[in-house]
Amino acid sequence: MGRVAVVTGGTRGIGKAICLALQAKGVTVVANYAGNIESARQFTAETGIPAYRWDVGDHEFCIHNCNDIAAEHGPIDIVVNNAGITRDAVLHRMSFEDWNEVMRINLGGCFNMAKATFPGMRERGWGRIINIGSVNGQSGQYGQVNYAAAKSGIHGFTKALAQEGAKFGVTVNAIAPGYVDTDMVAAVPAPVLEKIVAKIPVGRLGHAEEIARGVTFLASEEAGFMTGSTMSINGGQHMY
């Protein structure tokens, strides 16, 4: 491809799989991470992919670090907005901080990264922005009004920005993963996870590599006629 990509939340789980899949396609990949320094160091040692630490919910950090990445590695052609957190609770027990932090990072991070990179893509006449939503942003989920709202917002953000980028060769799409065998899902109590898997028609959790294959397609030249779409990769858990 000869392109430069930034993957937020890129050193573990789905993000790591996306980084490796894009790297295998010849993309120069840079990963973002927020907190786990040791994991990021191990990731870079294993893959050779540089990892930059910053909070995607901070607008100025996104602008500054994307400028630094472009200066060192070349203009950013592909952005994968994968970074996200959970702060689960039913509404009457959810604090404003739990609501605000999930919205700030999961949805605000998409805005911040787009602001940092979309103008350059638009000027150069080519770009790919791929936002990682969630099946729970499509169907809702008990105890996740913050997470479901942020992920649902990502799907609307994707459709609106796609309309702005289309005539400039910039596509904007989303992927809505179902439950994938990552550390985040591993933290779900076993009885709850069993009930979730029982509702997935294919009868298993997804694999991070399956999400990554969707990203590599959306990031490719071949996906140039696909924009404003949400690709559901959920084992049939939610169909509409």
What are the residue numbers of the active site? Answer: 147
Cβ proximity of 181 and 205 under 8 Å: yes
Distance CA(33)–CA(38), nearest Å, equals: 11
Distance CA(205)–CA(213), nearest Å, equals: 16
Q: Cα torsion at 39, 147, 228, 135 (round to 10°)? A: 90
Q: At what angle do helices 13-24 and 37-47 cross, to 10 degrees?
A: 20
Residue type, 103: M
Reference 179, options 105, 238, 129, 98; nearest CA is: 238
Distance CA(193)–CA(190), nearest Å, equals: 5
